[in-house]
Amino acid sequence: MRITLFPGGRTLALLGAASLLFLVSTPLALAVDAVVLLLALVDGRRTRAPSARREVPRISALAAVTDVVITLENPTDRTVTVKVTDDLDPCLRRAAGPGGVDGWEDGTPAEIVPGDSVRCHYQLTPRTRGFLPLGAVHLRTLSPWGLAWRRSSVELSHTLQVQPGVRDLLRDRSGHTLRRRLRTPGQRRTRQWGEGREFESLRDYVQGDDPRSIDWKASAKRRKYVVRNYEAERSQNIVLAIDAGRQMRERLSPVRERIDYALGACMMLASRAQNFGDRIGVVVFDDRIRHVSPPRRADPPSLARVLAGVETRLVEPNYPLAFATLGRTFRKRSLVILFCDIIDGSVSRALVNSFTRIGRAHLPLAIAIRNPALEAAATHQVAEAEDAYYRAAAEELVQARATTLQVMRQSGIMVVDTPPGDTLVRTLDKYVEIKERGLL
C-alpha cells in the first residue's frame, strides 16, 4: 500500500489566515505556518484508511452495461470521510456512478460510521472485446482534525472478459425471423423429398405433401398413403473460419467493428449447433494463423472465451495459408463458414482460388458483411467536384465487391451478402436451411 499526505481545506485556511501575520512579524508568521504544517503532518499520520474490496463480474458483453461495487469498511471508532476511485483499462468507459462520471474520476465521497461499511456503485461499458484489467483502488481519507488527506492505494487486480455480445443484435428489426428459426429441439417439421437425411417417423399423408415422400411399402400395409418425416442430420462438423485482417477492423457502428458482427453470429450459431449435436471447429487468421480449435461438441461458453481474445490487425489476410491449415486440420467433410469482406482484387483472387479448392472436400459458405456507409457514398448526390471524386471511388469499390461475390457464386461457393445488423439472423437462417436440406 502506497501512502502520501497532502493538506486539507482547514490547513489551507489556517495558512491563509497566518499569512496576515507577515504584516506584523515575519518570524512569527513563519513559526505559525510551521506549527500548522506540523499539526497537519501529525493529524495525517494518525489517519487510518478503510479497507476496500471490489466486486466485478468475470464476464461481460460488448457494449453491455456492467455493474461494479467497491465496498469500504471502517475499522476505527470514529466516522471516516473518504473519496474513492479505481484504475480502469482505457477500453472501459465509466458509464455512471454517485456524483456522475467526473465524480468517480476525481473520487466519489463517502462517510462511514464506526465499525460499518458502505458500498459504492458504478457502471462500466466495454468499448472493445478482450480481457480488460481493472487495477488498484485509490482512497483519500480525511484526517480526524480535518487538516490533511491521507492518500492510499489498495492493490486489487481483476480481469473482465468481454465477449461478443448478441443481445443488441437480437433487437434488430429482423429479430422475428430469428425467433421463427429458433424452434426447440423437440419440435419437428415435415421435410420435403431431399431435405434431411435421417429418418424420423411416419405419418398419414395430407393434401399438399410431396408425393415423392410417400413410403409405398408402409402405405401398402396400412392400405392408405403414408409419408416419411426426416430430420436434419446430427453430429456434423461446422468450421468457423474468421478473417481477422484489415477489412474486418473497419468500424461499422459506434461500438462495433465488422468482426464483432461476425463473432456475434458465431456465438448464436454455436448455441443452435448445440441443439443439433454438431461439432464446432474454429480457425482465426490474418497474415498468420492466430488460433485453431479442432472440432468438438458445441460449447458456447468455451467458444466465447476464444472469441473474446480475437484481435484484428492491419494486414492482408493470407487465405492460401488459412485454407491449407484448415484442410489439414479438418479431414471430415464440414460446413466451412467464412466471415469476411472483400474489395481488393489480388486478395479476392486468392480467396476464390483457395476457397474453391476447399469445396472439393467441404461445403463452403461465405458470410460477406458489407459497409452501409460505403453503399450510401456510392449513391450520394454530387454537389461539388470533391463529392464527385468521393462518389466515383465508392462506386468503384462497391462494383469490385459485387464482382468478387459473383465470381464466388459461379465457383460453387454459397454466399450470404448481408448488412451488419442482419449478420446474425442471415447466418443462422442459412445454417438451418443447409441442415434441413441435407446439403452437408
Per residue in 68-93, pLDDT (tens digit) is: 999 999 988 889 999 999 999 998 98
Looking at residue 190, its pLDDT comes to 37
- The sign of the torsion formed by the CA atoms of 390, 396, 397, 399 equals positive
Ramachandran sector of residue 37 (left: φ over 0; alpha: ψ -120 to 50; beta: rest): alpha
pLDDT band at 104 (very low <50, low <70, confident <90, very high): low
Residue of 161, 160, 227, 171 lying closest to 200 (CA atoms): 227
What does the block give as the cell for 105?
A: 474520476
3-state secondary structure of 408: helix
Residue 31 backbone class (left: φ over 0; alpha: ψ -120 to 50; beta: rest): alpha
What is the second-level CATH architecture of the domain 1-163? Sandwich (2.60)
Distance CA 354, CA 323 (A): 6
What are the sequence ranges of the domains in the chain? 1-163, 167-185+233-437, 203-231
Q: How confident is the model at residue 383 (pLDDT cuts 50, 70, 90)?
A: confident
> Are the beta carbons of 261 and 420 closer than 8 angstroms?
yes
* Model confidence pLDDT, tens digit, residues 159-182: 999 988 777 777 654 444 444 444
How does pLDDT run across 114-131, given as a tens digit for each residue?
A: 989 999 988 888 988 889
Residue with cell 486440420: 329
The residue written with cell numbers 468507459 in the block is 93
Is the confidence at residue 3, as pLDDT, over 70?
no
For the whole model, what pTM was predicted?
Answer: 0.76
Residue 189: the pLDDT is 43
Residues 6+ apart with CB under 8 A from 163: 59, 60, 61, 62, 129, 267, 304, 305, 307, 308
Q: What is the pLDDT of residue 188?
A: 41
Location of C-alpha cell 442430420: 233
Give the Cα separation of 121 and 439 in Å (integer): 52
Per CATH, 1-163 and 167-185+233-437 having the same topology is answered: no
Coil, strand or helix at 230: strand
Provide the residue type at 431 as one letter.
Answer: Y
Phi, psi of 318 (to 5 degrees): -100, 85
CATH architecture of the region 167-185+233-437: 3-Layer(aba) Sandwich (3.40)
What percent of the chain lies above the pLDDT cut of 70?
Answer: 87
Question: What's the residue count for the chain?
Answer: 440
Residue with cell 494486414: 315
- Cα(113)–Cα(281) distance, integer angstroms: 56
Rounded to 5 degrees, φ, ψ at 172 are -65, 160
Around 27, how many Cα atoms within 13 Å sit in the side-chain half-sphere? Answer: 0
C-beta of residue 260 within 8 angstroms of C-beta of residue 339:
no
- pLDDT the model gives residue 317: 92
Question: What's the CA gap between 189 and 185, in Å, rounded?
Answer: 11
SS3 of residue 68 by DSSP: strand
- Between the alpha carbon of residue 68 and those of residues 14, 19, 95, 134, the distances in Å are 39, 45, 11, 10
Q: Using CA atoms, how far apart are residues 319 and 195, in angstroms rounded to an integer?
A: 32
Contact 240, 280 (CB under 8 A): yes
pLDDT in tens, 206-257: 877 777 778 888 888 888 888 876 655 667 899 999 999 999 999 888 888 9
Distance separating alpha carbons of residues 135 and 87, to the nearest angstrom: 5
Number of separate helices (H) and strands (E) present in the chain:
13, 19
